[in-house]
Amino acid sequence: MRFTPHVTVATVVEDQGRFLLVEELAGGQAVFNQPAGHLEADESLIDAALRETLEETGWQVELTAVTGIYLYTAPSNGVTYQRVCFAAKPLQHLPESPLDDGIIGPRWLTRAELAAQPERWRSELVMRCIDDYLAGERFPLSLIRDPA
């Protein structure tokens, strides 16, 4: 069997100590995740992060940095995901923007509010990305190289 990791993007969007999270259904449970999703064909990582954030939260954001690149194997299905996590600042909420299927809605939570509900994290990457962001992890967006 061929090993085929899934490439995903996520954004850590912070505003005055609160983080933009997505409340979504996963396996019949309401869980929290960063705005995140899979890279699509012929799409840059940056474009994917902007698109997923809008599709899952209704927020337009400006990416400011890369906070980290993570490998995660989901215990539920054994699939390995490579997540490129970006830092972003909120620009504009578009409340009429349709949200992806399975999305309950955007939620602004502090780290403490999120930390109090570990059973509701989509994966441990949710807190790890926030903690890396809070620790000051910032790599320039130029780290991401698009095809020439």
pLDDT tens, residue by residue, 99-117: 999 999 999 999 999 999 9
Residue 118 included in any domain: yes
Q: Is residue 137 part of a domain?
A: yes
Q: Is residue 147 part of a domain?
A: no
Domain-located, residue 122: yes
* CATH code: domain of residue 117: 3.90.79.10
Q: Tell me the pTM.
A: 0.94
Q: Is residue 1 part of a domain?
A: no
CA-CA distance, 102 to 136, in Å (whole number)? 32
- Inside any domain, residue 84: yes
Residue 130 domain boundaries = 6-141
Alpha-carbon span 101 to 56, nearest angstrom = 9
User: Which residues of the chain form beta strands (DSSP E)?
Assistant: 6-15, 18-26, 29-33, 36-38, 59-73, 80-93, 103-110
Give me the number of domains the chain comprises: 1
Whether residue 56 is contained in a domain is answered as yes
pLDDT tens-digit series, residues 86-102: 999 999 999 999 999 99
pLDDT digits (tens, 9 = 90+) for 47-84: 999 999 999 999 999 999 999 999 999 888 888 999 99
Q: How confident is the model at residue 6 (pLDDT cuts 50, 70, 90)?
A: very high
